[in-house]
Amino acid sequence: MELVELPLGSLEYLQGEGLVKIIPKKGIQIAPLSIKKMRQVHEMRKILESIAINQAIKYLGPKDIEYLKKLDETLGGSVGSKM
């Protein structure tokens, strides 16, 4: 299991959202996710990833585009086939 360090404020935020339970002197317990919550997280992730991609595209140069095309080919053309 990999340990990740997070600022305490992040953990308090997650606890406030009901995603984790902080147990003093024991650790942190991850809350089970309902199907509804998983769908919400998935939808938010799709939205945030789209925004991140749109922002990143502004900074791509020709070499970056060529690298991404080669990477797509390596991964079986999963992206290029949808363009």
Same domain, 37 and 27: no
Same domain, 83 and 72: yes
CA angle 52, 54, 56 (to 5 degrees): 65
For residues 54-72, average pLDDT = 92
Q: Residue 56 sits in which domain range?
A: 33-83
> pLDDT tens, 23-56?
999 988 998 888 998 899 899 999 999 999 999 9
Same domain, 46 and 58: yes
Distances (CA, A) of 38 to 16, 22, 28, 30, 35: 17, 21, 20, 14, 5
Cβ proximity of 68 and 62 under 8 Å: no
Regarding pTM above 0.85, the answer is no
Closest CA to 6 of 22, 64, 71: 22
Query: Is pLDDT of 7 > 80?
Result: no
Query: Is pLDDT of 76 > 80?
Result: yes
Based on the structure, what is the number of domains in the chain? Answer: 2
DSSP H or E segment with residue 74: helix 62-74
